[in-house]
């Protein structure tokens, strides 16, 4: 059986993990592992840019399931893969989320599998977004406007963290530690399960 279950033999829920084109994309591998070990079924959706930083193989291995890497990936059954995954989702987390991805989400763009999944989520399914980018990009009014739009629609922004960035600057923009992201994902899933979302 694909995915993972907790000690009681019951899944905590299905998490769709969106991975975008940041140097921090490799840390999403660890996030996948943490969520699976905690009892989540994890479905991974990678953008084309994410695949320039990390391959789909570790995600396939750790999630024990297929990884969507293209809008036209082969379908199982009659539903397109991005619709099937959206229908299964109890929560979607995008980690890392680039400035470009956040702009696309804010403006409802569906030109890739990740955008389509985000738009096709069932009403009430939580969206968690963990940004990772250059500090000046994060602080730019356009990015902050996009953040405000996402928050106004119910998305939760996790981070970003402060520290040394891959571009050589010190400041805000680092991906929040994956254990903190995983902890928040699990908190939200448990709250939904107990009717406290």
Sorted by where each begins, the domain ranges of the chain are 13-193
Q: Quote the tokens at residue 123.
A: 């009403």
User: What is d(CA 83, CA 138) in angstroms, rounded to the nearest whole number?
Assistant: 30
Percent with pLDDT over 70 in the chain: 86
Over residues 111-153, the pLDDT tens digits come to: 999 999 999 999 999 999 999 998 889 999 999 999 999 999 9
Choice among 57, 119, 139, 167 that is catalytic: 167
Residue 131, Cβ neighbours under 10 Å: how many? 29
Q: Is the pLDDT of residue 74 over 90?
A: no
Looking at residue 38, its pLDDT comes to 96
Q: CATH number of the domain at 13-193, please?
A: 3.40.50.1950
When the pLDDT of each residue in the chain is averaged and rounded to a whole number, the result is: 89
Q: Quote the tokens at residue 110.
A: 């569906």
Q: What is the mean pLDDT of residues 14-43?
A: 96
Three-class HEC string of the chain: CCCCCCCCCCCCEEEEEEECCCHHHHHHHHHHHHHHHCCEEEEEEECCCHHHCCCCHHHHHHHCCCEECCCCCCCCCCCCHHHHHHHHCCEEEEEEECHHHHHHHHCCCCCCHHHHHHHHCCCCCCEEEEECCCHHHHHCHHHHHHHHHHHHCCCEECCCEEEECCCCCEEEEECCCHHHHHHHHHHHHHHHHCCCC
Looking at residue 48, its pLDDT comes to 95
Check if 40 is active-site. no
Strands 91-97 and 127-131: parallel
Residue 70, Cβ neighbours under 10 Å: how many? 15
Q: Quote the tokens at residue 74.
A: 């082969």
Q: Quote the tokens at residue 35.
A: 């969520």
């Amino acid at each position: 059986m694909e995915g993972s279950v907790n000690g009681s033999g019951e899944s905590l829920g299905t998490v769709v993990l969106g991975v975008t084109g940041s140097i921090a994309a490799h840390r999403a591998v660890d996030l996948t592992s943490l969520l699976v070990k905690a009892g989540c079924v994890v479905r991974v959706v990678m953008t084309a840019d994410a695949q320039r930083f990390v391959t789909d193989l570790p995600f396939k291995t750790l999630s024990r399931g297929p990884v969507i890497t293209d809008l036209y990936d082969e379908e199982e059954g009659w539903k397109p893969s991005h619709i099937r995954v959206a229908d299964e989702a109890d929560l979607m987390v995008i980690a890392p989320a680039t400035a470009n991805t956040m702009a696309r989400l804010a403006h409802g763009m569906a030109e890739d599998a990740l955008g389509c999944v985000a738009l096709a989520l069932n009403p009430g399914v939580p969206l968690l977004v963990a940004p990772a980018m250059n500090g000046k990009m994060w602080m730019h009014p356009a990015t902050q406007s996009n953040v405000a739009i996402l928050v106004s629609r119910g998305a939760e922004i996790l981070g970003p963290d402060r520290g040394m960035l891959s571009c050589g600057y010190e400041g805000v923009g680092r991906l929040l530690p994956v254990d903190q992201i995983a902890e928040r994902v699990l908190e939200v899933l448990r709250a939904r399960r107990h009717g406290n979302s």
